[in-house]
Amino acid sequence: MSSLFAERILLDAGWANDVRVDIDDGVITDITVGAPPGDAPRAAGPVVPGMPNLHGHAFQRAMAGLAEHRRSDDDSFWTWRETMYRLVERLEPEDMAAIAAQLDVELLRGGFTATAEFHYLHHQRDGTPYADATTTSTAVIEAARRVGIRTTHLPVAYERGGFDGAPLGDGQRRFWADAALIGELHEALRQRFSAEPTVRIGLALHSLRAVTPATLRVAAATVTDAPIHIHAAEQTLEVGDCVAATGQRPVEWLLEHGGLAPHWCVVHATHLTEAEVHGLAGSGAVAGLCPTTEANLGDGLFPLLDYLEADGRYGVGTDSHVGRRAAAELRWLEYGQRLLHRRRNLVVATGRASVGGSLWDAAARGGAQALGQPIGRLALGRRADLVVLDDDHVALAGLDGDGLLDAWLFGGADDLVRDVMVEGRWVVRDRHHAQEDVIERDYRRVIAALRSA
């Protein structure tokens, strides 16, 4: 049993002062508002729920900033993939672990307390299987456990090169996985990590272009009580190819044939019709938005205001990890809508004027749903995952309540995370992770070897 006293804390019912939070085995067991601190350690600043990161590919941290040289007059996601494939050809499991550990430390320091790893590097560099099919998944999960970040691991089905059934290209040979392999990976990982409260196992389908309808149906039937994620409608070319192959747009097809439900997360969903917006919102699935990566790739802008009007649920992820701070993802989510609609202060919850408060609350709850973990809120029975802001930072001077979140997201200072707790344990203290030096050293060694190759 441990306790924490916060002078200011964002609870389910809103901001509260002088609150004692009791924690037992990582779970919040009691919350007392207006309590004396007693012997409870005092938080060094305002406390907010930790942000779940609902989408990412850890290995891509190693290529952040390396695909910014113009290659043609029509650079796009499809040309960006070539840089990614060259990285994939060089990675060993120990490299993936070192990259993931560095990423996880950075995510914690950026206010993320949990990740969803959309993992499709299943095989050896030449495409042949490992003796243990879970080798690469285990490397990434163990990196998260070492760093102390919560994770939902999603082994990905990926079996074809396009809607026409083309075989996977050389750069994709490590990705192959059909419904049988994904079921095997899901079950093996679930058993291996069943005793770990910070690890959840789900599954993912890369996209409708990369899996057959039969695989989608079998995989979805395999998992009915764990998260299922899928990329959809990220690029207009993908939408056009889907219409040509199936007569329907990707999200339209998923709504009719995919069984979308609250345990699903549809990642990106950038290009939607009005009917798709309302259908996705009505399904209870989470829209997984990755504003920094979507901007980096030139994908487009999600119709967020229409989606919120339809009571849609959303969360944010860092995807390719060109950005690794929760505040930046939420800032760009709002700024994208401002640019699209040419108005300000757009993403606000009913009865709440603060954009920062509205974004943080909705994304934390939506991210928790997408990860299938009891996080995203500071409430009884929830896991004790939280972020402490730096009360001494000039950016927060004279502010209180949602004004703190507005200043963090939109005030120009990204370095406001002071301490981070996951599962009731401090993993970042005074901006530092206990293992950051050795983790960074290992990362630098891996990067040096990759770039020299």
Parallel, antiparallel, or unpaired for β 286-289 and 264-268?
parallel
Cβ pair 429, 108 in contact under 8 A: no
Among residues 130, 128, 65, the alpha carbon closest in space to that of 93 is found at: 130
The burial of 79, by beta-carbon neighbours within 10 Å (0-12 exposed, 13-18 middle, 19 or more buried), is given as middle
DSSP 234: -
What whole-number distance in Å separates Cα of residue 145 and Cα of residue 149? 6
Using the structure block, give the residue that is written with the tokens 């007059």. 73
| CA quadruple 81, 175, 211, 57: dihedral sign | negative
E strand or H helix at 265: strand 264-268
What whole-number distance in Å separates Cα of residue 179 and Cα of residue 189? 15
What whole-number distance in Å separates Cα of residue 23 and Cα of residue 35? 15
E strand or H helix at 152: strand 150-157
- Out of 22, 104, 299, 319, the active site residue is 319
Cβ pair 315, 291 in contact under 8 A: no
What whole-number distance in Å separates Cα of residue 184 and Cα of residue 190? 10
Q: Find all residues with CB under 8 Å of 253, minimum gap 6, and list them.
A: 208, 242, 246
319 is catalytic: yes
Tokens found for residue 240: 């056009």
24 is catalytic: no
Among residues 173, 151, 171, 264, the alpha carbon closest in space to that of 216 is found at: 264
What whole-number distance in Å separates Cα of residue 200 and Cα of residue 213? 26
Q: Pseudo-torsion of CA 101, 103, 104, 109, nearest 10°? A: 130
What whole-number distance in Å separates Cα of residue 382 and Cα of residue 43? 19
| CA quadruple 164, 168, 171, 177: dihedral sign | positive
- Out of 123, 206, 268, 278, the active site residue is 268
> CA angle 296-297-298, nearest 5°?
95
The beta strands (E) that lie in 158-211 are given as 199-201, 203-205
- As annotated, the active-site residues are 268, 319
